[in-house]
Amino acid sequence: MARAGEPGNANQTGVASWYGYECRHTASGERYDPMSFTAAHRTLPFGTMVEVKNLSTGRTVMLRINNRGPYKKGRVIDVSKKAAQELGMVTSGIAKVELAVVK
């Protein structure tokens, strides 16, 4: 699968998960805030804005990349708890999503 952010490949589909641990710093140096609209991605630059759509619910959120991950094989993005609430995936923990880099 092509990676989001590569030239000509701004969209990516796969499994998203959410993370909610507090009082840790992200890879960008920010303190993780579970109530912010942020996410972790393996390759997108920090500060990149992405639109994430839950393919089951149709709900979308705009998120800013500020961390690295996910580290579980087969997942494309980890979202904050607040983003997971908006996407309707807190209970399940995961969702099939499409993400698009917003320019």
Asked whether residue 36 carries a pLDDT value surpassing 90, the answer given is yes
pTM confidence score: 0.86
Stretch 66-95: mean pLDDT: 95
What domains can you pick out in the chain, each with its CATH number? 11-102 (2.40.40.10)
> What are the two backbone dihedrals, phi and then psi, of residue 87, each rounded to the nearest 5 degrees?
-80, -10
Q: Identify the CA nearest to 41 among candidates 6, 17, 76.
A: 76
Stretch 41-48: mean pLDDT: 96
Q: Would you say the C-alpha torsion 99, 92, 80, 37 has a positive or negative sign?
A: positive
Q: Dihedral (C-alpha) 61, 62, 68, 74: value to the nearest 10 degrees? A: 40
Cα 103 to chain centroid distance, Å, stands at: 16
Work out the pLDDT band at 58, boundaries 50, 70, 90. Answer: very high
pLDDT at 8: 44
Asked if 62 contacts 50 with a C-beta cutoff of 8 angstroms, the reply is yes
pLDDT at 10: 61
